[in-house]
Amino acid sequence: MIKVAIMGHGTVGSGVYEVFDMNAEKIAKTVGEPVEVKYVLDLRDFSSLPYGNKFVTDFSVIENDPEVTVVAEVMGGVGAAYQFTKRCLEAGKSVCTSNKELVATKGEELLKIAEEHGVNYMFEASVGGGIPVIRPMLQCLAANEFNEICGILNGTTNYILTQMIHNGVTFADALKQAQLNGYAEKDPTADIEGHDACRKICILSDLAYGDKFDPDQVSCEGITKITLEDVANADKLGCVIKLLGRSVRCEDGTAYAYVAPHLIHKESPLAAVEDVFNAIMIDGNATGEVMFYGKGAGKLATASAVVADMLDSIEHKDKRRRIFWGDGSKHLLRPLDTLQSAWYVRFKGAQKDVEELLPVESLTEPAEGVFVVQTRKLSTAEMNAAAEKLNARGEVRAAMRIL
């Protein structure tokens, strides 16, 4: 009998227990013997549950039990979750997590500790929830150099944008709907400002390019400024608006990485990804583009990825998975100044100013003095400089890249 523990009994933590319980027979066949959840760590009282006797409030019970070999960390945050994960690894226990914030900010340190103690630190659920993407990158696509990663990495923002696109709902009303449906938290900042997607693109970039991409240094823009006017304008251009996390490798080995809303042409596979679904496009130099699609969150979907990592750790207890990246000392993150993009610009002012300051690809007839501009490719620095000059003569009401 293999003994494991779960740290945290929120949505994902309770899901992890449920997966072990409902699929016990399949799990036993997979690893060759039964797996028992011996402890669940949480400060709240769950004694009324059928497995209430498994709950502990003292982390050291798990830390000091030699029977427990694999632990699920589904607490979230970088406080207690970081300390407990570190101590589990140092105690010779593998840890599997869905905690994207912890992986993005402390992953390289925790992977190093895992290596030093001959155990695994695994985090498939931290990026795509139930969508397998990290293991395919490390195994199925291991023979590739990665040229680009681009994806819809947050289901909440994708749901909001879908409501705006198809139902003409304002951003504020779509956010309220997302909260009522349980897709958005009471405080939705991490989703709508792009921080959640930023942590995910950093983890994918860490894995793809081998060094740390710090979320605090990665450009991050959310969807709070997008209006129904922008949605309608995008439609006229044959596009939809999506929040993308993107990293692009350059010839010198550096990479752009950022999160921002984009106009995507309707022919793109990413344009058809709607509601709470996520999709991640990975371009390998041997495979070309490969896309991973599914619900990026949800109790059992995320829990299944955590449990799969736990089973992998059990099967590889004598030979740890080789997962690692650097501490950021290679400085691979390239400033966005030189990234070339076509742009969508909504500008209130004079046509002559637009034509003077932007490389215009197309320009609409003005509506109440507002022009919709599609530019040819120009760098971020050039776009920012042009926007500053345009704002001195009128008002740039929106500016987004066109992918």
**Residue 402's closest CA among 376, 366, 382, 365?**
376
**Residue 37's closest CA among 63, 71, 61?**
71
Question: Is residue 54 annotated as part of the catalytic site, yes or no?
Answer: no
Per DSSP, 288 falls in state E
Query: How far apart, in Å, do the first and last CA atoms of the chain sit?
Result: 52
Q: Which helix (H) or strand (E) holds 165?
A: helix 155-167
Q: Are 291 and 281 in contact (CB under 8 A)?
A: yes
Phi, psi angles (nearest 5°) of residue 149: -130, 130
Q: Are 388 and 218 in contact (CB under 8 A)?
A: no
Residue with tokens 């993009």: 341
Q: Are 239 and 249 in contact (CB under 8 A)?
A: no
Among residues 38, 93, 200, 212, which one is catalytic? 200
**Is 271 exposed, middle or buried (CB count within 10 Å of its CB: 0-12, 13-18, 19+)?**
buried
- 288 strand-pairing partners: 284
C-alpha 294/C-alpha 155 separation (Å) is 10
Residue 347: partners with Cβ closer than 8 Å, 6 or more residues away: 353, 354, 370, 371, 373, 390, 394, 395, 396, 397
C-alpha 45/C-alpha 57 separation (Å) is 9
Write down how long the chain is. Answer: 403
Residue 365 tokens, joined: 């007839």
C-alpha 291/C-alpha 67 separation (Å) is 40
- 242 strand-pairing partners: 262
Residue with tokens 């740039």: 396
Neighbours of 281 (CB within 10 A): 19
Neighbours of 200 (CB within 10 A): 27
Question: What residues are labeled active site?
Answer: 200
